Amino acid sequence: MSSRYKAPEVPDSKVTPTFVRDELLKCFESANAEFAAVLRQPVADDQLKRQVKSFVEQVFSQ
Protein backbone atom coordinates (compact mmCIF):
# COMPACT_ATOMS: atom_id res chain seq x y z
CA MET A 1 0.00 0.00 0.00
CA SER A 2 1.96 2.93 -1.27
CA SER A 3 -0.49 5.82 -1.33
CA ARG A 4 -2.52 7.59 1.31
CA TYR A 5 -6.22 6.75 1.26
CA LYS A 6 -8.57 9.28 -0.28
CA ALA A 7 -12.29 8.59 -0.26
CA PRO A 8 -13.76 8.40 -3.73
CA GLU A 9 -16.46 10.77 -4.82
CA VAL A 10 -19.48 8.66 -5.64
CA PRO A 11 -23.17 9.41 -6.02
CA ASP A 12 -25.40 8.46 -3.10
CA SER A 13 -26.95 5.73 -5.21
CA LYS A 14 -23.60 3.88 -5.22
CA VAL A 15 -23.16 4.00 -1.43
CA THR A 16 -24.10 0.58 -0.12
CA PRO A 17 -23.12 -1.26 3.06
CA THR A 18 -20.63 -3.32 1.03
CA PHE A 19 -19.11 -0.21 -0.53
CA VAL A 20 -18.74 1.45 2.89
CA ARG A 21 -17.19 -1.71 4.36
CA ASP A 22 -14.67 -1.97 1.54
CA GLU A 23 -13.72 1.72 1.76
CA LEU A 24 -13.37 1.46 5.54
CA LEU A 25 -10.96 -1.44 5.11
CA LYS A 26 -8.94 0.52 2.52
CA CYS A 27 -8.77 3.50 4.87
CA PHE A 28 -7.59 1.36 7.81
CA GLU A 29 -5.08 -0.42 5.58
CA SER A 30 -3.64 2.91 4.50
CA ALA A 31 -3.44 4.24 8.06
CA ASN A 32 -1.78 1.06 9.32
CA ALA A 33 0.70 1.07 6.44
CA GLU A 34 1.64 4.67 7.29
CA PHE A 35 2.02 3.77 10.96
CA ALA A 36 4.24 0.78 10.12
CA ALA A 37 6.37 3.03 7.90
CA VAL A 38 6.80 5.55 10.75
CA LEU A 39 7.91 2.69 13.00
CA ARG A 40 10.12 1.36 10.20
CA GLN A 41 8.42 -2.01 10.40
CA PRO A 42 8.06 -3.35 6.88
CA VAL A 43 4.87 -5.28 6.29
CA ALA A 44 3.65 -7.06 3.16
CA ASP A 45 0.42 -5.76 1.60
CA ASP A 46 -1.34 -9.12 1.91
CA GLN A 47 -0.29 -9.46 5.55
CA LEU A 48 -1.50 -5.95 6.29
CA LYS A 49 -4.85 -6.61 4.59
CA ARG A 50 -5.35 -9.80 6.63
CA GLN A 51 -4.48 -8.08 9.90
CA VAL A 52 -6.78 -5.12 9.26
CA LYS A 53 -9.66 -7.35 8.10
CA SER A 54 -9.30 -9.54 11.18
CA PHE A 55 -9.19 -6.52 13.49
CA VAL A 56 -12.24 -4.86 11.91
CA GLU A 57 -14.24 -8.10 11.95
CA GLN A 58 -13.39 -8.64 15.62
CA VAL A 59 -14.31 -5.09 16.64
CA PHE A 60 -17.60 -5.11 14.74
CA SER A 61 -18.59 -8.53 16.08
CA GLN A 62 -18.15 -7.25 19.63
Helices (H), the chain: 17-38, 45-61
pLDDT at 2 over 70: no
The confidence band for 1, taking pLDDT boundaries of 50, 70 and 90, is low
- Residue among 38, 44, 54 at smallest CA distance from 1: 44
Rounded CA gap, 15 and 23, in Å? Answer: 10
Rounded CA gap, 52 and 31, in Å? Answer: 10
Tallying the residues shown for the chain, one arrives at: 62
pLDDT of res. 43: 85
The 10s digit of each residue's pLDDT in 6-55 is: 999 999 999 999 999 899 999 999 999 999 889 999 888 899 899 999 98
pLDDT of res. 39: 93
pLDDT of res. 42: 87
